[in-house]
Structure 1
Amino acid sequence: MNIRLMVIYLSMVFILGCAQTGSGPRKYQENDSQAEPQNSPAMLNVKMGVAYFERQDYDVAIEKFKRALSHNPRLAIAHSGIATVYKAMNAQVDAERHYKLSVKHAPNDPVILNNYGTYLCQTGEYLEAVEYYKKTLANPFYKTPETVHENAGVCLMKAGEAEAAEKHFRNALESNPNMPISLYNMVIVSAGKGDSMKARAFIQRLEGLTELDEKLLKVAYEVEKKMGNDKAANQYLAQLRNLKKS
């Protein structure tokens, strides 16, 4: 579990958002241009675009999203989809243009806001990204607020705002106590504040879900040393040495 994994996790938000489009009426949509039937040509092409994106067949994914937009040029999820593909292809100008169009056409759609927030976080606009995550969280119809809290927390950690990040990670874990990225960051936050007892508790919870990486093994070692538990500290030190050998 490391920063690279966090970025990979964030990049999956678009696909999760698209999956929600099949779950019934989207009450948060503002205008008729977004009330697109699931079996319409536009939405069928969006779904195919997502499928090709998952296969990393970016050229075909672009083609499918373009077809969707030819049927409905104001379809925000299609703009968000093609923007995600352009981002993966490092075509930043096109990605930015389509993300902005997606927000323009659906300024209160939480999926669209979340996707744009993720893009901003990935491109280093951390605090602006958090504002879009807050707009997403303000919408009661968004089904997985814990993922948005986690995304906001990651951005705030990258911005050096650990205290603000902690609130989001705690909110995420209140909804779902088994979120590795939130647990990982709560270890870092707690240890940074010198709260070894809480850091230990979060480490133990994280160990129940995944193996600790080099960074957290070092933190776990230091936590146990501070608490006077040399046996546990030496166990983490042995794991760290074994990890470096592998």
Structure 2
Amino acid sequence: MLLALAAATAGLLAGCASGPGATPAAEAPAIADQTDNQRRARIRLQLAVGYYEQRQMAVALDEIRQALAADPAFAEAYVMRALIYMDMGEIKLAEENFQQAIRLAPNNPEFNNNYGWFLCQNGREKDSIAYFDAALKNRTYQSPAKALNNAGICSMKLKNRAAAERYFSQAFQFDPGNPTTNSNLARIYYDQGDYERARFYIGRVMKTDVMTADVLWLAIKIERKLGDRAAETSLATQLRRRHGGSAEFAAYQRGAFDE
């Protein structure tokens, strides 16, 4: 899913880009209300995003520095700097910037979701859930499925299957075609022994032409449990053709269906 750094960056870009279809950040002042310093800071942030996408980290960080010199309370700039530091492996600096952004804009759902994902990716899954929940409390949040999927993934890391099922089920209501949501629900129901429901959700993943090795392997195991050998054989052929060198195909060859 889900949703590693690229997904977090996409969330930030949606908050600060000005192109067609972009969504202004919840905390951003209206254009007419912005001061000259705020406008300069936003231009610097847009430049920083561009340099980040080109992997020019030092230049991106310098643009962020100039953005914050113009507007020290510019929360989006702190989030962008956090994402850059996160990508550079500077975990402490990334966290400091995430926390500063949330101090400045505590109700911004994207900031809470991004910080929650940061915590989840750095061994603090239990702490992350509160930030996903904070994002979801904001009624103006335009992409709640993102935070719900992230919360579900982190709940699975915590081995809290009941919470994971609840989050993924809610995510399904918002975005029923999301492959991450469907594959995780299929996995949960397979583990529960509810193979018909698992088949339903894995089938939705495969309708989107997501044919990764882990998806095909799960689909094979589901069909085996349901006793449909023709479907199992067809899926195994696809696994061999698409991912013949994968660990999943090796597991299929040795019959490791219950590992």
Match for 2:110: what amino acid? Answer: V
Match for 1:104: what amino acid? Answer: R
Against the structure 1 CA distance between its residues 91 and 156, is the aligned structure 2 distance closer, same or farther, given a 3 Å change threshold? same
Q: Percentage identity across aligned positions?
A: 28
**What is the distance in 1 between the residues matched to 2:218 and 2:108?**
40
Q: How does 1:129-168 map to 2 (within 5 A)?
A: 129-168=128-167
Q: How does 1:109-148 map to 2 (within 5 A)?
A: 109-148=108-147
Pairwise CA distance, 1:36: 5.2
Give CA-to-partner distance per residue, 1:160-188, whole Å, 9 cap, x none.
22221111111112111111111111111
2:8 maps to 1:13: yes
Give CA-to-partner distance per residue, 1:118-173, whole Å, 9 cap, x none.
21122121121111010011011111111111111111122222221111111112
**What is the distance in 1 between the residues matched to 2:231 and 2:64?**
53
Against the structure 1 CA distance between its residues 25 and 185, is the aligned structure 2 distance closer, same or farther, given a 3 Å change threshold? closer
Q: Where do 5+ consecutive residues of structure 1 fail to align?
A: none
Q: Where do 5+ consecutive residues of structure 2 fail to align?
A: 247-259
**Could you state the TM-score of these two structures normalised by the residue count of structure 1?**
0.87
CA contact (8 A) 1:30 1:106 kept: no
- 1:51 counterpart residue number: 50
- 1:206 counterpart residue number: 205
- 2:182 counterpart residue number: 183
CA contact (8 A) 1:18 1:77 kept: no
Match for 2:151: what amino acid? Answer: A
Pairwise CA distance, 1:103: 1.2
RMSD over aligned Cα, in angstroms?
2.5
Against the structure 1 CA distance between its residues 12 and 215, is the aligned structure 2 distance closer, same or farther, given a 3 Å change threshold? closer
SS of residue paired to 1:40: helix
Against the structure 1 CA distance between its residues 87 and 216, is the aligned structure 2 distance closer, same or farther, given a 3 Å change threshold? same
**Could you state the TM-score of these two structures normalised by the residue count of structure 2?**
0.83
- 1:61 counterpart residue number: 60
SS of residue paired to 2:2: helix
CA contact (8 A) 1:30 1:108 kept: no
The count of residues paired between Structure 1 and Structure 2 equals: 238
